[in-house]
Amino acid sequence: MNLPITSPNTVLANALNQTVDLLRARIALKRPKRVDFIVGTQINGTPHLGTNLTQCAAFVLAREIRNAFSVDTTVTFNALDNAPYHIELDPESFHSYQITYRHALGLEAVTELTESLYRAFFEGLSERTAVDYRLQLYSEQQATPAFRQTFLKTLPLREQLRWCVSPANGIMHVRFPCPYCFKAEKRGERMRILSTERECAIFEAFCFDHGLYEVVVTADSDAFLDLSTLYRNVVKEAQIADDQNVLGVMVKGGDWAFACQLVDWALGVLGYKASELPVRWFTPQILTETGAKLSKSLISRGEMEVPSQAFSWVLDTHDFEIEGDFEDYLDSLVGLIMGMLDDPKHFFRSYSYLEIDRLMKAQSPEARRENRARLIRIYRKYFDLIASGKKTIEIRVGYSSMKKIKPGQLLRFVSQGESCLTRVIDIREYSSFDELFEKEDFTKINPDKSKAEQLAEVRNIFSREKEALGVLAIEITRQDEGVK
């Protein structure tokens, strides 16, 4: 997707040919079975454009990395239901106390809220990129044994860690909701650690209504463990770094770059080498005229001004209207990210919201709808056969992303800068290439080669291990450009 963007050069952009090159070193070092793109968002109201842009970037990056490195990719969405729902001050000490969304609304309502804010958006992105995702609430994440064990591992090192995660005063913000009213001291001023062992730690916390209470944290105790943002990221990233099979990529808004040193120092204290840490992939920030990050909360409190022609859609993406359609919004957003990915100079920078508005609307309806077609890269000789209409069956092994292809869907085959749009008529699954070639008309797969030659050719491309995933015959027909 070519968008009319002008960007200056940077050290990073200069070092890369394509934006995806950024991950090449880490994939070579770790040889992961899967690359997981992780995005976290506080569940505290309708998303604004910055949030959606980062989430969309995770899906599009997952697709591009899968295509570039032939590695399985997924997206994990952490819905932070520990966001503060209500804050009040202790009338005597003036310490802040907070109640999380999870505790104010309950699990069922928080799940419902998350579903209503994000499910359709993620489903739409998953469909466009054929990337699988999972949605995890923070309340579920903190309850997993892996998260708690990693947290317990940090406690013996707390003397060194505390200045990394709380550089202002060295008090680690560990919060446990009061068992009676769910209020928790926000900065943990009166939280004390009574004992720590490898598998178990006992804490004492203070509620200004209900006094002192004890909390036991083990791999499976039911205490709700809430941490400040920096501390939570340290625990989460350490847990991700421990996974030998999966390379974690934290997809974060560019403003996070300023905070990551503190997280790095903490992970260094825990003994991780820089080359073992999860990757941080920063996405473009959306800025106002003053160069400040667009902040929905500052605008709603009247502390940040935006001009009146003001793109209400930037703040509440439900208002985005080209043709008044949510699908168009998703198409434009994917198109925007594709345009940014087109050149590393366009991706590793920030944009004013005026520029974002212009780029979203600069996409023709045809170009936007192309984003609904799934991109499939293919060798030139097969591409030519598809483009000429001679090849109407494409063969693939049964990766989960391929199994998502459905009849009626548009597939865009791409090779060496040329593309050809097709529509899926049918998709049939077989247990082996032998079975596939027995049942399918091999002249539709390749009219120029014998059955035996073709069988030898696919065996050359796909290992037995890949064949064991199942094999797919995807029946396609050529489409004119610009069809919906």
Residues of the shown chain interacting with Zn ion in the complex, contacts defined by CB under 5 A: 178, 180-181, 207, 209-210
According to DSSP, the residues that pair with 74 across neighbouring strands are 36, 132
Distance of closest approach, residue 184 Cβ to Zn ion, in angstroms: 9
Distance of closest approach, residue 151 Cβ to Zn ion, in angstroms: 23
Q: Which residue is nearest to Zn ion (CB)?
A: 178
What is the number of helices (H) and of strands (E) in the chain? Answer: 23, 20
Distance of closest approach, residue 213 Cβ to Zn ion, in angstroms: 8
Distance of closest approach, residue 190 Cβ to Zn ion, in angstroms: 13
Query: How far lies 45's CA from each of 40, 312, 353, in Å?
Result: 14, 15, 20
Instruction: Read off the DSSP letter of residue 81.
Output: T
| 3-class DSSP state of 203 | strand
Nearer of residues 187 and 374 to Zn ion, judged by Cβ: 187
Nearer of residues 212 and 461 to Zn ion, judged by Cβ: 212
> Of 65, 6, 55, 64, which is closest to residue 351 (Cα–Cα)?
6
Distance of closest approach, residue 15 Cβ to Zn ion, in angstroms: 54
Instruction: Read off the DSSP letter of residue 432.
Output: S
Nearer of residues 207 and 337 to Zn ion, judged by Cβ: 207
According to DSSP, the residues that pair with 193 across neighbouring strands are 203
Structure tokens at 400: 């989960």
Q: Given CA atoms 472, 127, 392, 65 in this order, what sign does their dihedral have?
A: negative
Which amino acid is located at 204 in the chain?
Answer: E
Residue 215: CB partners within 8 Å, gap ≥ 6?
176, 202, 203, 204, 205, 223
Nearer of residues 210 and 428 to Zn ion, judged by Cβ: 210
Nearer of residues 106 and 447 to Zn ion, judged by Cβ: 106
Distance of closest approach, residue 138 Cβ to Zn ion, in angstroms: 21
Query: How far lies 131's CA from each of 21, 71, 375, 413, 471, in Å?
Result: 20, 12, 12, 17, 19
Distance of closest approach, residue 178 Cβ to Zn ion, in angstroms: 3
Distance of closest approach, residue 109 Cβ to Zn ion, in angstroms: 21
Q: What stretches of 81-209 adopt beta strand conformation (E)? A: 84-89, 96-100, 132-137, 174-175, 184-185, 192-196, 200-207
Nearer of residues 1 and 181 to Zn ion, judged by Cβ: 181
Distance of closest approach, residue 470 Cβ to Zn ion, in angstroms: 55
Structure tokens at 59: 């899906």
Distance of closest approach, residue 325 Cβ to Zn ion, in angstroms: 48
Under 8 Å between Cβ of 177 and 87: no
Under 8 Å between Cβ of 395 and 458: yes
Nearer of residues 178 and 402 to Zn ion, judged by Cβ: 178
Nearer of residues 177 and 344 to Zn ion, judged by Cβ: 177
Structure tokens at 175: 């919060």
CA gap 188, 180 in Å, rounded = 18
Nearer of residues 180 and 379 to Zn ion, judged by Cβ: 180
Instruction: Report residue 147: phi and psi, to 5°.
Output: -65, -45
Distance of closest approach, residue 226 Cβ to Zn ion, in angstroms: 15
Nearer of residues 179 and 365 to Zn ion, judged by Cβ: 179
Element at 354 (helix H, strand E): helix 353-361
CA gap 163, 234 in Å, rounded = 13
Nearer of residues 177 and 278 to Zn ion, judged by Cβ: 177
Strand-by-strand arrangement of the 200-207 sheet: 192-196, 200-207, 211-218
